[in-house]
Amino acid sequence: MTELKILHDAVVAGNMEAMTSLTRKCLDAGYKPGQIINEALIPAMDVVGNKFRENEIFVPEVLISAKCMQTSLDILQPLLTEGEVAKAGKVVIGTVKGDLHDIGKNLVAIMLEGAGFEVIDLGVDVDAQQFINKVKEVKPDFVCLSSLLTTTMPQMGVTIEALHEAGLRQQVKVMVGGAPVTREFAEQIGADIYAPDAGAAVEAAKQAMAKLRQ
């Protein structure tokens, strides 16, 4: 088995203790930092995402694998040369105004990062103006809105409407999700993408990027 495959499997298994030494072994074997990220870490998080979607593993396991990936990234990122890793796309994410739930949103952010997206996380209780300011500043491909409360779901529609009014709606794809959010609701408020879980969010973002790049 190659060093890359061993590192890949350690991320999937959530083997935290081994991450530092396995990452260094990959470097010692001559693999470039970008190659380690693209050929071991990101595919490993793909496997984790699929297992999560199939209910083979649950939130704690995903978080441990994400932590493994981060441990490895902490070693590799300072060694990356400019342009070595092409970003899959850019995402601005947040839990909408009035809502403080962030576990699901964090999971979506982690999984998107694991899939190679650049993620700008605005946190919780994010109002429409904050999303607009960040869209103007960083020009993302996606605005991702999370809501866990039936009382805050309408804020997703408010944010989409505000993006329209600011003339920014055509520049971004809006993805929505969170336990009470349904596909019907997403369509009603004019979102582009509905994702029921973090794995689906990654798949949908990848597909949308592939279309954008055609």
Number of chain residues interacting with ligand B1M (CB under 6 A): 28
User: In angstroms, rounded to a whole number, what is the distance separating the alpha carbons of residues 105 and 125?
Assistant: 12
Q: Does 145 bind ligand B1M (CB under 6 A)?
A: yes
Positions in 11-40 near ligand B1M (CB under 6 A)? none
| Smallest distance, ligand B1M to C-beta of residue 173, A | 10
Positions in 153-212 near ligand B1M (CB under 6 A)? 175-180, 195, 197-198, 201
Q: Does 107 bind ligand B1M (CB under 6 A)?
A: yes
Nearer to ligand B1M, 4 or 148 (CB): 148
Q: From start to end of the chain, where are the E strands?
A: 90-95, 118-121, 142-146, 173-177, 193-194
Under DSSP, the state recorded for 37 is I
Q: What is the 3-state secondary structure (H, E, C) of 48-104?
A: HHHHHHCCCCCHHHHHHHHHHHHHHHHHHHHHCCCCCCCCCCEEEEEEECCCCCCHH
| Smallest distance, ligand B1M to C-beta of residue 95, A | 8
Q: Does 138 bind ligand B1M (CB under 6 A)?
A: no
Q: Does 144 bind ligand B1M (CB under 6 A)?
A: yes
Phi-psi region of 198 (alpha: psi -120 to 50; beta: other; left: phi over 0): alpha
CA 200 vs. chain centroid, Å, equals 11
- Among 20, 21, 77, 150, the residue binding ligand B1M under the rule CB under 6 A is 150
Nearer to ligand B1M, 3 or 197 (CB): 197
User: In angstroms, rounded to a whole number, what is the distance separating the alpha carbons of residues 146 and 126?
Assistant: 10
Positions in 51-70 near ligand B1M (CB under 6 A)? 59
**Helix, strand, or coil (residue 112):** helix
Residues that bind ligand B1M (CB under 6 A): 59, 98-105, 107-108, 144-146, 148-151, 175-180, 195, 197-198, 201
